[in-house]
Amino acid sequence: MIPSDIIRPRSIVRLSAANKTALFRALAKKAAEQVALPEAAILDALTRREALGSTGVGGGLAMPHAPVEGLAEPFGLLARLEKPVAYEAIDGAPVDLVCLVLTPVNGGKGRLDALACIAKRLRPAEIRERIRNAAGGEDIYALLLEES
């Protein structure tokens, strides 16, 4: 599995949110539009997962993820935020890049594979910086396709 199996060009977006709660609402709305599932179900799944512990992985990156009832295959959405938001990340830094990963409820190993492939690609600080500075979604998608 590679990041482009999960994130498509149309699921690379710019978002604005005042706080983490508003960010989750915006993510759920964007995801719902693309996977044709109820926004409320996605928001509920994200909120329940986040209650277990922050998905802010550090370096300005968050990777909220959750299994969602009715989802047939893993779905990813990569968002650049207009302004960083407080996120309770492991390093305490605010977040300006968010990679949402939704998986089928019975995703099993596929869920871990989806998260691992995205995390591996976004781990290097250089890649995150290139995403921040990219002109648009197509450029970001090209970065996801590059060999790591």
Active site residues: 65
- Segments of the chain assigned E as strands: 7-15, 56-58, 61-62, 65-68, 75-85, 95-104
Q: Report the length, in residues, of the chain.
A: 148
Both tokens of residue 120?
């591996």
Six-digit token string for 51: 């209650």
Task: Check: CB of residue 65 under 8 Å from CB of residue 102.
Answer: yes
Closest to 63 (Cα-Cα) out of 89, 30, 31: 89
**Three-state secondary structure call for residue 27:** helix
